[in-house]
Structure 1
Amino acid sequence: MAETLQVPDHLTVANADFSRALAWIDGGVVPLAEARIPVRDLGLMYADMTYDVVHSWRGGFFRLDDHLDRFLASCAGLRLDPGMTRDALRRRLAELLRRSGLPDALVYFACTRGLAVPGTRDPARSRNAFFATVTPLVLRGQPEEMRRGLHATLPRDVARIPAESVNPVWKNSHWGDFIRATFAAKDSGHDVPVLLAADGAVAEAPGFNVVALVDGALVSPDRGVLEGISCRTMFEIARDLGIPARYGRLMPEELARAEEAFLTATSCGLFPVTRIDGRPVGAGVPGPVTTRLLNTYYARKNAGWHITPATSIPPPEETP
């Protein structure tokens, strides 16, 4: 009997309590609706910033240290300073989550360039700013959409920003290509675009890594993309289940003939793709490998795999 896709039906917009959403900004915690950044912050004006998003599950962070590794590497690459040590960041994020009372949440944290010093455009002279928010965890796509699977398209007139211009390994908010492609996808009756790199290889989707099951093995692009933690998670699970998985070059024609395909992201783990450019992927429903990976992912999280309870992290140290 075929395994049934186990989707967390409680993670819906209707069930989300946004009254608990909070932000840490300017040294204090405020309701999210009251959080503000200056309109002249260079992060807002020029996307001169980095960020990361970690989720909590039943009161514990999932792969918190991996997200901190990526955030701090992005800060170093973009020459940003959040003004806190790694340990201080862990404590601050845990305190924000505890204060929200949300067991399943998305915790977004960012470092912006801050305000420009009048009379100069030297970015090194700006004082960088850090802030964080916590909101209810809502599936990227609601439960019924996950069961149906996404309908994707590969737009040929919008290429992914070249890595030589904006390094995608440093998580950034340069989403002009993603937004343009998303409008094109929606206009043509699709759910999501999958962008190609300038050389014609498959790159990534807005906020998603792309994974295809081709000739019995999982493959995800190995260059010109964000190094996704959720994709890494699915590959770890695949290895344990004896499913071949690798990073490598993925061409559109390979994606078009894939037996299965899915996208990976923090808010959902993975999201099945069941149609590409109007043609069904495999049988046109979430496939057995996709289903097994997602079900194992939730079973392992429920058992505490890669979970760091927020209560196990000490409160922030008081500054003099």
Structure 2
Amino acid sequence: MADDELYYHVDGDLVPAAEASVSVRDRGFLYGDAVFETVRVYGGELFRWADHAERLADSAAAISLDHGLSPTELGARVTETLEANDLADAAVRLSITRGVGSGGLTPDPEVDPTVVIQVEPLPRGGVNAEPVREGPATLQTVKTRRVPDAAIPAAAKTHNYVNGVLARLELRVSDADEAVMLDGDGHLAEGATSNVFFVDGDALRTPSLDGPVLPGITRAEVLDIADAEGIPVTEGSFTPDDLRNAAEAFLTGTTREIRPVGTVDGIEVGGGPVTTLLQRLYDARVERECYGGQRLSDGRSDDPEQSGGGDGVDGTQTDA
């Protein structure tokens, strides 16, 4: 489906994508004064919608944006948009701005929010799914640092993405396709649009949310799967060398799910048994919850949670 054939939801109305627009005086356009969520849709189901809705509410609270819309109302608008486009597998971007103000940087006391829902068709997820992005990720550590939490709350998913844009611009001199960003002290933070995990032989490790790290929904899902599998996890402070010297590494994000890392700063890292196991378990969850376990019951693929597990951190079998 071409973009110009899609319908978007703008302030309560479905409109052709080519006609979708907001005012040039909208504060989301003028100042990035807006919050958003990207939600994955599998088989017509909004995956982890409650978690996304909660994070959206937290983001709005962090910038004092009282938009007055409930998760139920927002979810209904998303569903209406998916149905209008006849999409069962997609990515949804839901944005809420503070709307058109009277002028100046200071927000008006009363808010008339602008709500925009965009959709993008994606391949079917779950077991034996076609990946959204082919091949392992190539990472490059960049000079652009993450904005300190005291400046812009890291937990707030806002339209202020210039920080990530600058990081991605640095990749033009390399073959990398994702930027690894550090905090002000030079420790690992996250990718420009992803959370970072790696394995050092003893445990699964990821930067702590104590730093300027977005609390990713897929990140939380991976931590939950690891806990259920008995895979040790350390959330802490790590250096770029920790990532470069890792046994394996991967990125997490809503649309790309769990993506193995091939290289970091030109150093080969690669995937491995832990990454593979987590991918299989993640896909199995999606398959059961969103597709009724169709590909788990028709013999197309084994369910690691039903068939006795997969390779653990040390290469041994783990119970599922």
TM-score if structure 1 supplies the norm length? 0.82
Aligned equivalent of 1:109, options 87, 94, 98:
94
Deviation digits for residues 38-74 of structure 1, max 9, x if unmatched? 1121111111111001111011111010000000111
Partner SS, residue 176 of structure 2: coil
Deviation digits for residues 89-142 of structure 1, max 9, x if unmatched? 222222222222111011111111222214x54303453222212221269xx9
Q: 1: CA distance between counterparts of 2:2 and 2:54? A: 30
- CA positional deviation for 1:251: 1.6
> What is the match of residue 122 of structure 1?
106
> What is the match of residue 95 of structure 1?
80
- CA positional deviation for 1:185: 1.6
Q: 2: CA distance between counterparts of 1:270 and 1:224? A: 21
- Aligned partners of 1:57 and 1:105 also within 8 Å: yes
Q: 2: CA distance between counterparts of 1:209 and 1:22? A: 30
- CA positional deviation for 1:214: 2.0
Partner SS, residue 165 of structure 1: coil
1:136 alignment partner AA: P
- CA positional deviation for 1:17: 5.3
- CA positional deviation for 1:144: 9.1
Partner SS, residue 23 of structure 2: coil
> What is the match of residue 150 of structure 1?
137
Residue correspondence of structure 1 range 110-259 to structure 2 within 5 A:
110-118=95-103, 120-125=104-109, 127-137=112-122, 143=131, 146=134, 148-155=135-142, 157-222=143-208, 223-259=211-247
Aligned equivalent of 2:12, options 27, 50, 63:
27
- Aligned partners of 2:45 and 2:290 also within 8 Å: no
Q: How many residue pairs are counted as aligned between the two chains? A: 284
2:192 alignment partner AA: P
Partner SS, residue 117 of structure 1: coil
Aligned equivalent of 2:258, options 267, 270, 285:
270
Deviation digits for residues 140-161 of structure 1, max 9, x if unmatched? xx94954x31111112x21111
TM-score if structure 2 supplies the norm length? 0.82
- Aligned partners of 1:62 and 1:306 also within 8 Å: no
1:151 alignment partner AA: T
Q: 2: CA distance between counterparts of 1:59 and 1:305? A: 8
> What is the match of residue 62 of structure 1?
47
1:300 alignment partner AA: R
Q: 1: CA distance between counterparts of 2:71 and 2:162? A: 31
Partner SS, residue 88 of structure 1: helix
2:91 alignment partner AA: L
> What is the match of residue 288 of structure 2?
303
Percent sequence identity is 32
2:136 alignment partner AA: G
Aligned equivalent of 1:40, options 25, 29, 33:
25
The runs of 5 or more residues in structure 2 that have no matched partner are: 125-129, 293-320
Q: 1: CA distance between counterparts of 2:13 and 2:37? A: 20
- CA positional deviation for 1:173: 2.3
Partner SS, residue 123 of structure 1: coil
- Aligned partners of 1:63 and 1:306 also within 8 Å: no
Structure scoring higher RCO (CA < 8 A, sep ≥ 6) equals 1
CA-based RMSD: 2.2
1:79 equivalent to 2:64? Answer yes
- Aligned partners of 1:213 and 1:261 also within 8 Å: yes
Q: 2: CA distance between counterparts of 1:71 and 1:188? A: 34
Partner SS, residue 152 of structure 1: strand
The runs of 5 or more residues in structure 1 that have no matched partner are: 1-15, 308-320
Q: 2: CA distance between counterparts of 1:39 and 1:138? A: 34
